[in-house]
Chains A and B, each alone.
Chain A
Amino acid sequence: MQNSLFISSSKYIKRIGALLLLVITVALAFHQFARVTGKYQDPVLYDFYDLKRNSVDVLFVGSSHVYCSINPVQLFEDKGIAGFNLAGGSQPVWFSYHYIKEALKTQSPKVIVLDVYTVRVNDDAYFDSRNAQMNLLHMKPSYNKWQALQLAEVDSRIDVFFGFPITHSRYLSLQKVDFDEESTMFLGYHYQPRIVAYEPEKVKDVRQVQETEAVTPKTEEYLRKCIELCREKGIDLVLTNSPWPDITLDLQKRYNYIQEIADEYGIPFLNGCLYNEEIGMDYTVDSMGDGGHLNYTGATKYTRWLGDYLKQNYELPDRRGSKGYEAWEHQSRRLAAILRRDEWKKLEDMGEYLERLASSEELYYVISLNGDFQKEGSSVLDALAGRGFDTEKNGLYVMNAEETLFYSEGAEEYTWWKYFGDSVLHVQSREGVQEIFWDGDKFSKIKNGVHIWVYDSTLHEVVRKLSFDADKNYEKAE
Chain B
Amino acid sequence: MLFNSLDFLIFFPIVVLIYFLIPKKIKYLWLLAASYYFYMCWNPKYILLMLLSTVLTWITGLALENFREKGLSKKWQKGCIAACFIINLGILALFKYFDFFLENINLILEKLGMQMVEKPFDLLLPVGISFYTFQALSYIVDVYREEVKVEKNLARYALFVSFFPQLVAGPIERTDNLLRQINHIPTMKLKNHYERITDGLVYMLYGFFLKMVIADRISLMVDTVFDSWYIYGTVELIAGAVGFAIQIYCDFASYSIIAVGAAQVMGFNIMENFAAPYFSCSIKEFWRRWHISLSTWFKDYVYIPLGGNRCSRGRKYRNLMITFLASGLWHGANWTYVVWGGLHGLYQIVGELLFPVKQKFYPYIGISIGSISHKLGQILTTFFLTVIAWVFFRAEDIGAALGYLKNMFTRWNPWAIVDKSLYQIGLSVYEWNILLASLVFMLLVDVIRLVRHERIDRFLNTQGALAKGIVIGGMILVIGMFGQYGGGFDAKQFIYFQF
Q: How far is the CB of A137 from chain B (nearest CB, A)?
A: 10
Q: Report yes or no: B7 in contact with A158, Cβ–Cβ below 8 A.
A: yes
Within 1-41 of B, Cβ neighbours of A (below 8 Å) are at 6-7, 10
Indicate whether A171 reaches chain B with its CB closer than 8 angstroms.
Answer: yes
Contact with B along A3-45 (1 / 0, CB 8 A): 0000000001001001001100110011001000000000000
With A26-B476, A158-B7 in contact, do A169 and B469 touch (Cβ < 8 Å)?
no
Q: Is B428's CB within 8 Å of the partner chain A?
A: yes
Q: How many A-B residue pairs have CB under 8 A?
A: 56
**CB closest residue in chain B, given A161:** B6
Instruction: Kindly state whether residue A166 has any CB partner on chain B within 8 Å.
Output: yes
For B430, give the chain A residue with the smallest CB separation.
A172
**How far apart are the CA atoms of A171 and B430 in the complex, in Å?**
10
CA distance in complex: A159, B486 (Å):
6
Given contacts A15-B194, A158-B7, contact A167 B477 (CB under 8 A): no
The answer to whether B487 touches A18, judged by C-beta atoms less than 8 angstroms apart, is no
Q: Is the CB of B489 within 8 A of A169?
A: yes
Contact indicator A166/B480 (Cβ below 8 Å): no
- In the complex formed, the residue of A with least CB distance to B481 is A33
B6 pairs with A168, CB closer than 8 A: no
Within 8 A of B (CB), among A144-190: 156, 158-159, 162, 164-169, 171-172
Asked if A21 and B469 sit within 8 Å, CB to CB, the answer is yes
Residues from chain B with Cβ under 8 Å of A171 in the complex: 481-482
CB pair B194–A168 under 8 Å, yes or no, is: no
Interface check B366, CB cutoff 8 A: no
The reply to whether B486 and A18 contact each other, CB–CB distance below 8 Å, is no
In chain B, positions 27-64 with a C-beta closer than 8 Å to chain A are none
| CB atoms of A165 and B487 under 8 A apart | yes
Decide if B6 touches A26 in the complex (CB within 8 Å): no
Those of B438-489 within 8 Å (CB) of chain A: 465, 469, 472-473, 476-477, 480-489
Residues of B within 8 A of A33 (CB): 477, 480-481
Using A15-B194, A22-B472 as known contacts, say yes or no to A165 and B481 having CB atoms under 8 A apart.
no
B396 contacts the other chain (Cβ, under 8 Å)? no
Contact B480 A169 (CB under 8 A): no
Instruction: Give Cα A156 to B9, complex, Å.
Output: 15
Interface range on chain B: under 10, 10 to 19, 20 to 34, or 35 or more? 20 to 34
Residues of A within 8 A of B487 (CB): 156, 159, 165-167, 169
Contact of A18 among B465, B476, B481, B483 (CB under 8 A): B465
Is B431 engaged at the interface, CB distance under 8 Å to the other chain? yes
Which A-chain residue is minimally distant from B473 (CB atoms)? Answer: A26
Interchain CB contact under 8 A, A164 and B480: yes
CA distance A172 to B473 in the complex (A): 21
With most chain A CB atoms within 10 A of its CB, the pick from B473, B477, B484, B489 is B473
Which of chain B's residues have a CB closer than 8 A to the CB of A168? 480-481, 483, 485-486
Contact present for A30 and B431 (CB under 8 Å):
no
Q: Min CB distance, B200 to chain A, in Å?
A: 15
Collect the chain A residues with CB atoms within 8 Å of residue B472's CB: 22
Q: Is the CB of B469 within 8 A of A18?
A: yes
Q: Is the CB of B477 within 8 A of A26?
A: yes
**Cross-chain contact B473 with A25 (CB below 8 angstroms):** yes
Please, which residues of chain B bring their CB within 8 A of the CB of A26?
A: 473, 476-477
A158: B residues at CB distance < 8 A: 6-7, 10
CB distance from A16 to the nearest CB of B (A): 9
Q: Which residues of A contact B485 (CB under 8 A)?
A: 165, 168
Chain A contacts for B473, CB-based, 8 A: 22, 25-26, 29
Q: Which residue of A lies closest to B491 (CB)?
A: A156
Complex: chain A residue closest to B10, CB-CB? A158
Tell me the bound Cα distance from A162 to B481 in angstroms: 14
| Interchain CB contact (< 8 A) of A159 among B6, B194, B483, B484 | B6
Q: B6 touching A162 by the CB < 8 A rule? A: yes
B79 vs chain A, min Cβ distance (A): 51
Q: How far is the CA of A30 from the CA of B428 in the complex (A)?
A: 24
Q: Mark A171-213, 1 if CB is under 8 A from B, else 0.
A: 1100000000000000000000000000000000000000000
Q: In the assembled complex, which residues on chain B have CB atoms less than 8 Å from the CB atom of A165?
A: 6, 485-487
Q: B206 CB to closest chain A CB, in angstroms? A: 16
Nearest Cβ in chain B — how far from A472, in angstroms? 36
CA separation between A26 and B489, bound complex, in Å? Answer: 24
Cβ-defined contact, B431 with A22, below 8 A: no
**A231 and B339 alpha carbons, distance in the complex (Å):** 74
Please name all residues of chain B whose beta carbon is closer than 8 Å to the beta carbon of A30 when the two chains form the complex: 476-477, 480-481
* A172:B476 contact, CB within 8 angstroms: no
Least CB distance from A13 to B in Å reads 12
Give CA–CA (A12, B430) in the complex, Å: 42
Which residues of chain B have C-beta atoms less than 8 A from A21's C-beta?
A: 469
A156 with B486: CB separation less than 8 A: yes
B182 to chain A, nearest CB (A): 30
| Shortest CB distance B90–A (Å) | 38
Interface residues of B (CB under 8 A from A): 6-7, 10, 194, 428, 430-431, 465, 469, 472-473, 476-477, 480-489
* 20 pairs of residues in contact across A and B, judged by CB atoms under 8 Å: A18-B465, A18-B469, A25-B469, A26-B477, A29-B477, A30-B480, A30-B481, A33-B480, A156-B487, A158-B7, A159-B487, A165-B485, A165-B487, A168-B480, A168-B483, A168-B486, A169-B486, A169-B488, A171-B482, A172-B430
List 4 extra interface pairs beyond A22-B473, A30-B476, A33-B480, CB under 8 A.
Answer: A30-B477, A164-B480, A168-B480, A169-B486
Identify the 5 closest CB pairs spanning chains A and B, nearest first.
Answer: A165-B486, A166-B487, A158-B6, A26-B473, A159-B486
